[in-house]
Structure 1
Amino acid sequence: MVNKADLPLAIAAGQIEEPRTDVLVPEVEGYTTTSTEVKLNRTIQDEVWQLMLTQGYGQEETHLTGRFALKNNQARVLSLTLTMYQFSGGAHGTTLEHGLTFDSDTGHLYTLPELFKPKK
């Protein structure tokens, strides 16, 4: 019998579409407990909004484009990157990218040191 926790999570693309703002937000659906799903989605949404604010969301001349990419979605690990591009005139815009890696069974957001085994 297949353990649902070992299967990939269903990821949908939500959208924040406002004037000068076109941001796709990953949304976790299914295969986790409701509380874990809520925790994962809340953390992802908080990170997206933090990137938007850092890039100047709400400023008159700022245009934002946000996307995401799945890096790993198996064996109880969900890893993705959030990318936020900002353009407010001039020659070039600015891109920020933020990586998130979760235990998809519990919703725990790993820190970088937690992803590596300590040397013995």
Structure 2
Amino acid sequence: MASAVDTLDANSVALSEAIGSVYGDEAGQQFLELWRNHIGFFVEYTLGGATGDVAMQDAAAQKLDDYRADFGAFVDSATGGELPADAVAENLQVHVDTLIEAIDAVLAGSPDVFPKLREAA
């Protein structure tokens, strides 16, 4: 499990470096914090589902909704308004919804897991 977490975080760092190369180091660090947080929210959602803790899942889903707004504001600021916060947040809804569907499929032992993961990617 540790190598999967390390690989995921290395990917997050690489993404933040790409963002930083375009929008500056501060933006790269802001991106990394937001990105790592949203991964944690998906982990919390998964743990809630795995343990039957609906309140944990609901809280994680709310955090993901807040993340959409926060990430939208970040992109709006980084692009000088060229990508408006509301549009970014709206488009992120698909990412959140499809990944939650994939997580739910994993937790349910559904045979549809891989198509749902592909859709979420």
User: Higher relative contact order at CA 8 Å, sep ≥6: structure 1 or structure 2?
Assistant: 1
Structure with bigger strand share is: 1
State TM-score, norm by structure 2.
Answer: 0.33
State TM-score, norm by structure 1.
Answer: 0.33
Q: In terms of Rg, which structure is larger? A: 1
